[in-house]
């Protein structure tokens, strides 16, 4: 059996041949208490009026699309 690095290279090569590309994401770990505290502090600093304005805008522009993602008539 090939080494793990060779198996990964083979898998990436096969995916590239299929027109796919590997994408890695690094995200904050929501299980961490320090991350949860930081998020809570950031949420506490949000301005409700600005957030409501942003949500209203999102609702307005989302009305251009039907539920299946196609454009509304």
> Could you please report the per-residue DSSP string of 34-67?
HHHHHHHHHHHT--HHHHHHHHHHHHHHHTTB-T
- Domain spans of the chain, in order of start: 47-73
Residue 1 has pLDDT above 90, yes or no: no
Higher pLDDT: 2 or 42? It is: 42
pLDDT at 2: 83
How many angstroms separate the CA atoms of 53 and 27, rounded?
Answer: 27
Q: How does pLDDT run across 16-67, given as a tens digit for each residue?
A: 999 998 888 999 999 999 999 999 999 999 999 999 999 999 988 887 666 6
pLDDT at 65: 60
Token pair recorded at residue 64: 């251009």
Token pair recorded at residue 3: 């080494």
């Amino acid at each position: 059996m090939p080494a793990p690095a060779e198996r990964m290279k083979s898998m990436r090569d096969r995916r590239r041949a299929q027109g796919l590309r590997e994408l890695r994401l690094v995200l904050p770990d929501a299980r961490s208490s320090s991350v949860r505290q930081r998020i809570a502090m950031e949420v506490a600093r949000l301005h409700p009026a600005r957030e409501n304005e942003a949500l209203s805008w999102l609702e307005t522009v989302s009305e251009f699309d039907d539920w299946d993602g196609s454009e509304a008539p």
